[in-house]
Amino acid sequence: MASTLRLCTLQIVQLSKNVCKPNCRYMFLSAVRPGTIVPFKLSDIGEGIRDVIIKEWYVKLGDRVSQFDNICEVQSDKASATITSRYDGVIRAVHYKVDDVALVGNPLVDIEVEEEITNVDESVKKSVRKERNEETDSQEGHDIKVEINSNKVLTTPAVRRLAMENNINLKDVPATGKSGRVLKEDILVYMQDLSHSSSIERPSIRTNEKTVLGENMPVKKYAKAMWKSMTQSLSIPHFVYSDECNVSKLVKYRDEVKDTLKEQGISLSLMPFFIKAASRALERVPELNAWLDEDAQNIRIVKSHNISIAMDTPEGLIVPNIKNVQTLSIVAIAKELNRLQALGKIASIPLADLSEGTFSLSNIGVIGGTYTKPVILSPQIVIGALGKIQKLPRFDELEKVYPANVIAVSWAADHRVVDGVTMAKYSSIWKYYVENPMHLLLGA
């Protein structure tokens, strides 16, 4: 054991010599012997956070961990963070269960360390003492030599190396060690902050202003179903494919006939055409009109095209379906859509209209937007989302620019059972029908 320790000490002394410049001083920090069980404490994660909730453990008793391996996921009211190990070793105690509250400064786990390590708390105490003496003294057998460069930020070579490997300027890292030393934890917290702040714009916190709360808003009637179905869909790997379609002919055709239908009490939007095109394309790619049985790993292809329509209602999002679209005319589809919209407004859509949908469409373009990533309604395997029709310059056959009506469509497919080529093929057929409404009407 003693020889191992000496070897370790020697290696570090040599490393220090290599990196140390002439104006640097040395000091000695104490070390923890291999086999020692050290408490791995929850360090200060900033923002004044005093306690956190344990959300998930990545380790259990007896697990072997290396430095930077994930230990657990914690959540405070301000942030969530992944806590990573400072040591190589074996987990000898886990101090909390999931959902327990852990206090900053208290041990999360105990680790039996495998290799000699610098004990940061001890080292800080020692460094202060040694600094006072301003001597390089190696009387204690397993002390480790560490550089202090008066021109540099105070820290250990290991931390300096960690910063260098991650392109971090030590001067940017808020130091929490004694006498302004940057600890390994400081680097890790800084790296986590960097990754958070690159994706999230952090609001500035003005502590002297009180938060003004509004009224409580209970989840609406239909939104409860959305909660359930969308949570379910989280486990589905979504493959998304988008394209744009020139629907100028379709827009023109609808404009020509809609007033006549209005006189008959039928409101004809573009949606019935999109629905019919979905059904026509399904005739060519029937495997997409299906339900997935995850447990049996089986796909049930359905002959009826029961097209589900995402519908915005005063009670939230609801997805009724129009049954057997393959047998319906555009006008019949429009009538069904009108009926469902009227019932949706008064939150009275019967269960029969909500069940047994086989394929979904969502027209968010009524509100705005171009592209969206729609979320699959399990057990279905495909959903299409439409953006807002835009007037955009396009070329005609004579290469003359003209104002075209362009709509973007985004398809999300369950990538466990639908491959990209099948989705792209389906999308192209659908596009053909919405770009050539005469073929849709003729049933060609």
What residue type is assigned to position 301 of the chain?
I
What residue type is assigned to position 44 of the chain?
D
Give the residue with the Cβ less far from ligand COA, 101 or 346: 346
* Residues within window 238-277 making contact with ligand COA, judged by CB under 6 A: 269-271
Concatenating the DSSP letter of every residue in 208-269 gives TSPPPP----PPPHHHHHHHHHHHHHTTS-EEEEEEEEE-HHHHHHHHHHHHHHHHTT----
- Give me the least distance between CB of 267 and ligand COA, in Å please: 7
* Residues within window 358-397 making contact with ligand COA, judged by CB under 6 A: 362-366, 386, 388-389
Rounded CA gap, 388 and 369, in Å?
Answer: 6
**Catalytic status, residue 353:** no
- Residue 318, φ and ψ in degrees, nearest 5: -135, 150
- Give me the least distance between CB of 429 and ligand COA, in Å please: 20
- Give me the least distance between CB of 366 and ligand COA, in Å please: 4
What residue type is assigned to position 230 of the chain?
M
Give the residue with the Cβ less far from ligand COA, 192 or 410: 410
Give the residue with the Cβ less far from ligand COA, 170 or 311: 311
**Catalytic status, residue 238:** no
Q: Which of 69, 88, 312, 435 binds ligand COA (CB under 6 A)?
A: 312
Task: Enumerate the β-bridge partners of residue 107.
Answer: 41
157 secondary structure, DSSP code: H
* Residues within window 29-48 making contact with ligand COA, judged by CB under 6 A: none
Choices 19-27, 310-318, 415-423, 428-436 (CB under 6 A): range interacting with ligand COA: 310-318
Rounded CA gap, 322 and 138, in Å?
Answer: 83
How big is the site for ligand COA, counted in residues (CB under 6 A)? 19
- Give me the least distance between CB of 200 and ligand COA, in Å please: 23
Give the residue with the Cβ less far from ligand COA, 118 or 362: 362
Who contacts 58 (Cβ-Cβ below 8 Å, separation ≥6)? 69, 70, 71, 72, 73
Sign of CA dihedral 424, 425, 429, 435: positive
Q: Which of 317, 331, 429, 441 binds ligand COA (CB under 6 A)?
A: 317
Q: Does 309 bind ligand COA (CB under 6 A)?
A: yes
Give the residue with the Cβ less far from ligand COA, 177 or 320: 320
Place of tokens 């995850």: 294
Cβ-based burial of 8 (10 A; exposed 0-12, middle 13-18, buried ≥19): middle
32 secondary structure, DSSP code: E
175 secondary structure, DSSP code: P
Give the residue with the Cβ less far from ligand COA, 127 or 363: 363
Q: Does 328 bind ligand COA (CB under 6 A)?
A: no
- Give me the least distance between CB of 398 and ligand COA, in Å please: 28
Catalytically annotated residues: 415, 419
Sites of contact with ligand COA (CB under 6 A): 269-271, 309-312, 317, 337, 341, 362-366, 386, 388-389, 407
